[in-house]
Structures are given as structure tokens and as C-alpha cells.
Amino acid sequence: MAETGDRSWALRLAHRGDWRVAPENSLAAMRAALANPACDGLEFDVRASRDGVPILLHDDTLARVQGRPERPDELSVEDLAAAGIPTLAEVLAAVGPEPFLDVELKGEPIPAVIDVLEAARGPGLLRTVVSSFEVPTLVWVGTHRPRWRRWLNAMDLERGTLRLTGELACQAVSVDWHAIDDEGIARARSEGVEVAAWTVRARSNASKLERLGVIAVCVEGRALDGR
């Protein structure tokens, strides 16, 4: 699979896997998404266990998905596994090298992420981007691995957001899809910034964004089922 810039259409990345089949960010959800012919890759969220192991979880507690009150950094990786939460290494091994990955880092930098990603995707992080809403985390990744592609996650395509993307040397900004229009795409292009979109549930909206020129669309539900 080619990198984003080499494609003539937008990547469709399954938001936290296919959570219609299995819990979000679970190994089963990732496998289910990749079994869908319309899926080009995955988007998932990474936090750390108490022992510093990168694991897949969106929220800052286990309450919503696993029904437990703890934070992931209060539990060992074994405790998290018992709750159905996989490690980043397990997911990378299971999905293999072909799917495109948007690895969203939550919270503070996780040192072990670098070694885990490099072991699976190589020093250049092939077919992978690291994204985050957290500016210090993106700075940390850029400092330690300047060759890695990074996306700033944001809410809009205003000039300030695009300037920040450039200052961070991120290759793209990933934006709430409602904020993307022709004018915003033109602003981004004038700043040399690519645009990705999150999170789309209708195929018609995914197709519209593709026509506008985004490089990737984070999709879920029916938007994952075809173009």
C-alpha cells in the first residue's frame, strides 16, 4: 500500500477498528475492520499501562467500554489484558505491515512507543503516521524521530491551526470533518499542509471529503462499508 501522498483517492481508516463487531480499540475490532474490502487501514488510540507498556484505549478510564473505574496507568499490562485491552505490540503483530495506520497518542509521551513502532514498521515508520491533539507529545516525537510523519489533530482549518501545523513540522492536520470545505482546503494548500478528516459515518460525506481533496478519512459505521 502506498503512502498517502502517492494515492489518487483518500484513505479510509477504520475509527478504533470496526466497533460494530467487537469493542472499540480491541484486537477483534481491528481484524474485523481489515476484513472489510473498503478499509485501507486503521486509526486507534494509545495510552500507557502502569508499567509503561503502550496499550490501546481512547478514554482516560476504563469506565465507558470495559465498565471499570480505573485509569490505565493504575493497572498492569496483565490487568489490562484481562479486561480485553491489547498492547500496541500485539495489534501491530496481528495486522501486519500492509494496512495504513494512524496511531493517535493520548496524554503525555510514552517512551516505549518508539521502540514498539520501529520494531513493527521500521525506522522510517512505513505506512504509518503518529497523530495527537497534544502539542508537547508531537514535539517529543519530532525531537526523537524527525523522519516520522506526524499529524496534528484539531477542530478547524483556521490560519492559527495551519500555522501551528507548520511550526510543528507536521505533514498534515486531521480535522473534524464538519470544519472542512473548499475554502479551508485552499488555505491549507497555501500553507503546504495536507488535510485528513475525522470521524465520518455516512458514505456520502466520505465521498464529498474525498472530492475536496483530503488525504484520509477516519470512518465508522456505514462509511466503512464502501465508496
Domain count, the chain: 1
Per-residue pLDDT of the chain (227 residues; tens, 9 = 90+): 345 655 568 999 999 999 999 999 999 999 999 999 999 999 999 999 999 999 999 999 999 999 999 999 999 999 999 999 999 999 999 999 999 999 999 999 999 999 999 999 999 999 999 999 999 999 999 999 999 999 999 999 999 999 999 999 999 999 999 999 999 999 999 999 999 999 999 999 999 999 999 999 999 999 999 77
CATH number at residue 175: 3.20.20.190
* 67 Cβ contact list (under 8 Å, min separation 6): none
d(CA 145, CA 59): 26
Whole-prediction pTM value?
Answer: 0.95
Domain of residue 11, residue span:
4-225
